[in-house]
Amino acid sequence: MDPGKVLELVRPLVMVVDGWGTVLAVHGGCGGFLGHDLAALPGTNVLHLVAAAERNDVASYFLSQAGEEVKTALLPLPFRVHLVDADGREHAVDVIPTGQPDDPEIGGWVVVLVPLAMQAGPSRSLAAELGGAPRSEVKQLLAEELELDNADWTTRVFLVDLPSGRVTAGRNSDVRMHAAIAEAIADGWDPWLQIGRGEGSFDVSVDDAPPVIRSDASLAGWNFIESAPVYAHGELVAAYVRLSHSPNRSSFDHVRTNVESRLRELIEVTQLLLTRWRDQDALRAAASFDPLTGLANRETLNGALALNEDSVAVIYIDIDHFKAVNDEYGHAVGDRVLVEVGRRVSSACRRDDVVARVGGDEFVVLLRCVDEVIAGRICRRILDEVRVPFTLIDGPRDISVSIGLAMRSDGDDMVEQADRAMLAAKRQGRARLVLAS
């Protein structure tokens, strides 16, 4: 067996680098390595492959190892850097160095470079999530997990967020297909529905795909298309669309088991992340919103008030005779009245106003960028909206509210001012507005 031939068939890249960083020899990289011409690398400086922000650290690492004896050659630990591909994109790569042997036939460090994309599991997206990366970045990493580019194969993966239809691509250069998939989804394309939960993926002939996808796939040379659903909490929340190019169908079938295994693992990681995000969102919502009406709660209102904007006003609203509603119709009907009043108050306000439920039948609205005229107009809209007869089954027909309005006044508690004005409206006969003095 020829050891050199075996080494050339290794997918990672094996380099020999001297003390100045000059590449002496290159082996492996079977199928291509980040799009570089491997034959042209000997004689160049390895730091040219390293992302600019990390070059000094990499140079310092190897300089610190200079002069080490052969017996310590295996001590350096693997580390991770970002290498730049032929198109200028950065890729995380694990570097596995073997000290500086003093064998004159080698004359430098032996370094193995393994892109994270070659690893067996989708670890980059999990690491990014644990590191606090934005969700958009984590989704892009998920879409990159099964990317492949070599002389015979090309694979791209797109993550579809359901039901919004938003599509995430691993590469910005795939913007045409990104847009084509989004357009097809908007027109009702949903091949992942052909697959039950846990059943894997569904092959779709490119010839049978929507025209907008078929057109761009032909331009890119992709001849296979596959989709797979992703569930979280038992609900279909996302899907993967994978487009590939291979010389012939038989070669595709040859690696299908491997591809399916990687895809299943990617789906499991995606399920984990989407479930985590949904749980986080639910916790935030529970901490920020009233569970009955879906309006902001007191804590959210206080946070908005703390911004201390100049042109703000506070409306304090109390439902008239609400205790009588609960006594006559029951608390279930009372809850429906609260929900409907909250909806009507919100509809009378503007998009950026903060509408909160702060007590049993009490609501507070924070108005931004208003003067007394505009604030008064919104208060009267609220009165009119609530006066419209209710159509609740087995519930009251007529409901009214009392409103207190407070404008910004330095040194005073606006909510307390508006509350006192609301109590004055109650004393004056209810179903009216009183401006805080």
Buried (b) or exposed (e) across 152-180, using 16+ Cβ within 10 A?
ebbbbbbbbbbeeeebbbbeeebeebbeb
pLDDT, one tens digit for every residue, the chain (437 residues): 777 788 888 889 999 888 788 899 999 888 788 889 999 999 999 899 999 999 988 887 766 665 555 455 555 678 888 999 888 888 888 888 876 666 677 777 888 998 877 776 667 788 888 888 999 989 988 888 877 776 667 788 899 998 788 899 877 777 788 888 888 888 888 888 887 666 666 676 777 888 888 888 877 778 888 888 998 888 899 999 888 877 665 455 555 566 677 788 888 899 999 999 988 887 887 778 898 999 999 988 988 888 766 678 999 999 999 999 999 999 999 999 999 999 999 999 998 899 999 989 999 999 988 899 999 999 999 999 999 999 988 899 999 999 999 998 654 689 999 999 999 999 999 999 999 98
Q: Is-cis flag, bond preceding 3, omega within 30? A: no
Domains of the chain, start order: 3-118 (3.30.450.20), 123-283 (3.30.450.40), 298-435 (3.30.70.270)
State if pTM tops 0.75. Answer: no
Confirm whether 371 is a catalytic residue: no
Q: Dihedral (C-alpha) 255, 259, 262, 266: value to the nearest 10 degrees?
A: 170
Specify whether the CB–CB gap between 214 and 207 falls below 8 A.
yes
In Å, how far from its chain's centre is CA 166? Answer: 11
d(CA 217, CA 242): 11
- How far is the CA of 41 from the CAs of 15, 34, 135, 248, in angstroms? 10, 12, 36, 32
The catalytic position among 361, 371, 384, 412 is: 361
Secondary structure (H, E, C), 246-286:
CCCHHHHHHCHHHHHHHHHHHHHHHHHHHHHHHHHHHHHHH
Instruction: Please list, in sequence order, all residues whose beta carbon lies within 8 angstroms of the beta carbon of residue 114, skipping any fewer than 6 positions away.
Output: 12, 93, 94, 96
Instruction: Please list, in sequence order, all residues whose beta carbon lies within 8 angstroms of the beta carbon of residue 330, skipping any fewer than 6 positions away.
Output: none
d(CA 30, CA 54): 26
Strand pairing category for 13-17 and 79-84: unpaired
Specify whether the CB–CB gap between 32 and 149 falls below 8 A.
yes
Residue with tokens 């505009």: 374
